[in-house]
Each structure stands twice: as C-alpha cells, then as structure tokens.
C-alpha cells in the first residue's frame, strides 16, 4: 500500500512540473513612464549694489518775472530744452522692498523768452545750463522690474537777461520729487524711465545792468520738470 501511495505522489509531482514547463513565461511589467522634467526656478533678481549710469531727456517748466514793471501784463512764460548727464547710486534690497541713494549731474539747455508788455521791444530771457540732484529712493521690486518713488535736494543755475545785456546768473538750491520704473536687462545692466520736479528755488534778482528795468530790479523765479531715460551698470555687493 505504501509503495502505491509513494508512486502516486511521485507521478503527481512529475505531472505538475511538466504542466508548469508547458505554461507561457510570465509577462514583464509594463515600462514606467519617465519622470517629468521640472526645471529649477531661476533665482530672483537682486537689486542690491552700487551703480553708475547715463541719462538724457527733456526739461520743461516756467519762469516768472515780477517787479514794478510787470504789474500788467504778467511776466510768466514757458521754458524748455534738452538735458543729459551722469548718475551714481546705491541700492539695498530686503525681500521685495528696495531703498537707495542716487545723485546726478546734468547739462541742460532749458530756456524761454517773454516778448510782450515791457519785454516787447527787447525780449526777457531766462535760461539754465545745468542741474544736479541728490535723492533717496524707495521701491518695490517685481523680480526684474522695480517701481520707485524718489525725493531730495536739487541745485541748478538760473540765468536772466534782457536783449543783449550781460546775463545775471546764480546757483539756487531747492527740492525735487518724482518717481519711475526701472527694469533689469541683464544681471548688471538696467534701464529706467523717470519723472522729476524741481521747485522751491529762491528768486534771482536781476538788476538794471542785466535786465534793464528802469523801475527797479526784476525778481526771476524758475521751476522745472524733467522726463528722463537712463542706463545704469550695477556692481553687485
């Protein structure tokens, strides 16, 4: 009996191996899809650093001649002309907030003339051939674009003359305020567009030797708006 059971077990084992050998090989698992490539984010632009630059644009405003001779008509008239010069500054950035200091010196050819009233026979002329500002800046950076406000002190020369008389000239101190937009072209090169207003300048007293006023000196006031574009090269901290 035992021999019969042993023989049955051996036969069953042999049959199982043969059946397994006849089965098809197991299917390989499907290939896995490659992982999606996610580029590393670019680092945010850093506005901190010293910079130097150039700027140019247009200045416009008005001059007002007052005194006994200008009771009527008014001695107020427009001035305008080209401006251009150099800039130096420094920025420091915390998060998106940027603060800095900036100074510039510009040559300009801003001038105008009054040719009516007491100035009808010999025009009354006002001019300025340079302007300088020293300002604080505060801005908010949207990565490579910054919007900013600016304000501080200003100095410029005011010149006045009537007809061919020698120019009266004086350097006057005032204030300036404005704002602008600056954008990074490369890691070191930025471009800006800005507006500045210069006001609060004392009046220039133009005596008879320059302004020929028979009734006494004329007081010449002057203010100016500037629209400028500029390029700055930044040296990172």
**Residue 37 forms part of a structural domain:** no
Q: What's the confidence (pLDDT) of residue 5?
A: 46
State the virtual CA torsion across 171, 172, 178, 180 in degrees, nearest 10. 0
**Residue 22 forms part of a structural domain:** no
**Count of domains forming the chain:** 1
**Residue 9 forms part of a structural domain:** no
Range of the domain at 115: 49-235
Distance, CA of 206 to CA of 166 (rounded, Å):
11
Q: What is the mean pLDDT of residues 50-65?
A: 97
Q: What is the mean pLDDT of residues 35-61?
A: 85
pLDDT at 207 over 90: no
**Residue 119 forms part of a structural domain:** yes
**Residue 23 forms part of a structural domain:** no
Q: What is the mean pLDDT of the chain?
A: 87
**Residue 28 forms part of a structural domain:** no
pTM of the predicted model as reported, rounded to 2 decimal places? 0.81
pLDDT band, residue 23 (cuts 50/70/90): low
**Residue 181 forms part of a structural domain:** yes
Distance, CA of 134 to CA of 110 (rounded, Å):
20
Q: Which range among 65-74, 200-209, 222-231 shows the weakest confidence by mean pLDDT? A: 65-74
**Residue 83 forms part of a structural domain:** yes
- CATH assignment of the domain containing 69: 2.40.160.20
């Amino acid at each position: 009996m035992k021999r019969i059971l042993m023989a049955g077990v051996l036969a069953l084992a042999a049959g199982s191996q043969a059946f397994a050998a006849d089965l098809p090989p197991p299917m390989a698992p499907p290939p896995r899809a490659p992982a999606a490539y996610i580029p590393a984010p670019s680092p945010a632009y850093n506005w901190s650093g010293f910079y130097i630059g150039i700027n140019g644009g247009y200045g416009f405003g008005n001059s007002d001649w007052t005194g006994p001779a200008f009771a009527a008509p008014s001695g107020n008239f427009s001035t305008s002309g080209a401006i251009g010069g150099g800039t130096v500054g420094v920025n420091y950035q915390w998060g998106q907030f940027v603060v800095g200091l900036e100074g510039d010196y510009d040559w300009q050819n801003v001038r105008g003339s009054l040719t009516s009233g007491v100035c009808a026979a010999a025009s009354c002329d006002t001019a300025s051939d340079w302007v300088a500002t020293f300002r604080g800046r505060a801005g908010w950076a949207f990565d490579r674009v910054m919007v900013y406000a600016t304000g501080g002190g200003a100095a410029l020369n005011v010149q006045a003359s009537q007809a061919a008389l020698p120019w009266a000239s004086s350097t006057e101190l005032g204030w300036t305020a404005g704002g602008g937009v600056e954008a990074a072209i490369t890691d070191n090169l930025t471009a800006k567009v800005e507006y500045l207003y210069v006001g609060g300048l004392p009046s220039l007293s133009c005596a008879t030797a320059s302004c020929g006023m028979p009734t006494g000196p004329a007081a010449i006031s002057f203010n100016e708006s500037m629209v400028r574009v500029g390029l700055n090269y930044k040296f990172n901290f």
